[in-house]
Amino acid sequence: MAVKRSWVESANELEGDFPVENLPFGVIERDGERRTGLAVGDQILDLHACARAGLLSGEINLDLRALAVSGKARKVRHSAAEWLSEAGHRSRVQPCLVPQSSVRMLPPFEIGDYTDFYASIHHATNVGKLFRPDNPLLPNYKWVPIGYHGRASSIVVSGTEVKRPSGQTKAPDAAAPVFGPSRMLDYELEVGFFVGEGNALGEPVPLHQAEARIFGLCLLNDWSARDIQSWEYQPLGPFLGKSFATTISPWVVTLDALEPFRVPAAPRPQGDPEPLPYLTDERDRLRGAFDIQLEVSLLTARMRAAGDKPARVSLGNLRDLYWTPAQMLAHHTSNGCNLRPGDLLATGTVSGPTPESVGSLLERTKRGAEPLALPDGEQRKFLEDGDEVILRGWCESEGHARIGFGECRGIVIS
């Protein structure tokens, strides 16, 4: 398939995230307004400006939530791809572009509810080994897409500073806990997916319809205070060790853009049970997973001062998950729970089978026992103040333009 070219030159860069085949949706603040835009190269196509220029019908509600629910997002993206590829449209469309560097990105949706899954069996096994060496993977794991209800109010967009949380922690040999700043602050590399059209309370979404409810994907860092988490998590699961901040990338990459990068769900090892019928669908098994490379980089205060580049500390792939996004969404609604437009579901930490592909420091440093060596000679057990965590994600496939997610960044402050 021929790779499309755009008259927006930066959209044609081979290593770029935003060619005209991608056109992810985001929300910008411009002239005091909340506006919906599409990323193209290093620019943003301001859809509200397009409407004012007569390129889009004034009838279309351009609020991103409305676009995601009405199904008009597909048509808008399709039209925009035409305008941006054909030179004849340039004079009318160019005034609707704004450099990405000149505007502030807002969260793409007002997120009502956020649920975090635990869909990487490698992550679940690694973490289980640290907390329960004799019994790493609990017996429900291969039957139930495990998840918990996260906190929506503290979801922030890339670039927002993350304040080190304080909380109760208890050293294993201490008689009582103390209250103070977390000393075991960590990141979790995840992918989020936004709900477009929701479902009514009491009406589960069957697996074969689940993908139609997913508007698109973003990168997500589920910041985690391991010392707070390990003291509080039993018996009801994560709470204050997680709820202080979750960072998302601002661009929502649509399933349409991800179509060339679909892959079969990761094969289940011999002897693993088949999913129950409500989690089984042939189409989902054959093409329900996504081949997305996922990277974590770290930029410490010292590296920043020295002008160093961020150091890659992990490279994994979303295709390794034990459950597909559609299985997670179908399972979420299987008890009748209603999802609403703009709700955010996340995969859980994406870890692969090797040490270089794990998505958290907890796993990489074996809970601090094996510090990670950085290229400038520094070491990390967990995150220090001034450390910036940068997530990136991209897709590559022969014959298709590379597409990416942009960045999901956050710097730790005290």
Q: Which is nearer to Ca ion, 97 or 219 (CB)?
A: 219
Q: Which is nearer to Ca ion, 16 or 352 (CB)?
A: 352
Residue 350 near residue 316 (C-beta atoms within 8 A): yes
- Find the shortest distance in angstroms from Cβ 412 to Ca ion: 17
Cis upstream peptide for 260 (omega within 30°): no
Task: Give the CB-side neighbour count of residue 225, counting CA atoms within 13 A.
Answer: 25
Piece of the chain touching Ca ion by CB under 5 A; list 170-178, 181-189, 383-391, 396-404: 181-189
- Find the shortest distance in angstroms from Cβ 269 to Ca ion: 23
Q: What is the DSSP string of 286-341?
A: HH-EE--EEEEEEE-HHHHHTTPPPEEEEEEEGGG-SS-HHHHHHHHHTTSPPP-T
Q: Which of 46, 186, 188, 387 binds Ca ion (CB under 5 A)?
A: 188
Q: Which is nearer to Ca ion, 188 or 320 (CB)?
A: 188
Piece of the chain touching Ca ion by CB under 5 A; list 6-14, 222-230, 308-316, 376-384: 222-230
Restricted to residues 339-358, the positions that interact with Ca ion (CB under 5 A) are 348
Q: Closest CB to Ca ion belongs to which residue?
A: 222
Piece of the chain touching Ca ion by CB under 5 A; list 23-31, 51-59, 218-226, 287-295: 218-226
Amino acid sitting at position 279: L
Residue 300 near residue 374 (C-beta atoms within 8 A): yes
| Bridge-based pairing state of the strands 114-117 and 104-106 | unpaired
- Find the shortest distance in angstroms from Cβ 246 to Ca ion: 9
Our finding on whether 222 is near Ca ion (CB under 5 A) is: yes
Our finding on whether 227 is near Ca ion (CB under 5 A) is: no
Residue 114 near residue 155 (C-beta atoms within 8 A): yes
How many residues line the site for Ca ion (CB under 5 A)?
A: 4
- Find the shortest distance in angstroms from Cβ 245 to Ca ion: 12
Our finding on whether 388 is near Ca ion (CB under 5 A) is: no
Give, in degrees to the nearest 5, the angle at Cα 272 between 268 and 275: 80
Residue 321 near residue 350 (C-beta atoms within 8 A): yes
Q: Annotated active-site positions, please?
A: 123
What would the x/- binding string for Ca ion be over residues 80 to 119, using CB under 5 A? ------------------------------------x---
What would the x/- binding string for Ca ion be over residues 133 to 172, using CB under 5 A? ----------------------------------------
Residues 227, 236, 266, 404, CA torsion sign: negative
φ, ψ for residue 104, nearest 5 deg = -95, 130
Q: Is 173 exposed, middle or buried (0-12, 13-18, 19+ CB in 10 A)?
A: exposed
Restricted to residues 11-40, the positions that interact with Ca ion (CB under 5 A) are none
Contacts of 302 (CB under 8 A, 6+ apart): 376, 378
Q: Which is nearer to Ca ion, 226 or 380 (CB)?
A: 226
Q: How far is CA 309 from the centre of its chain?
A: 23
Q: Which is nearer to Ca ion, 300 or 365 (CB)?
A: 365
- Find the shortest distance in angstroms from Cβ 360 to Ca ion: 8
Q: Which residues bind Ca ion (CB under 5 A)?
A: 116, 188, 222, 348
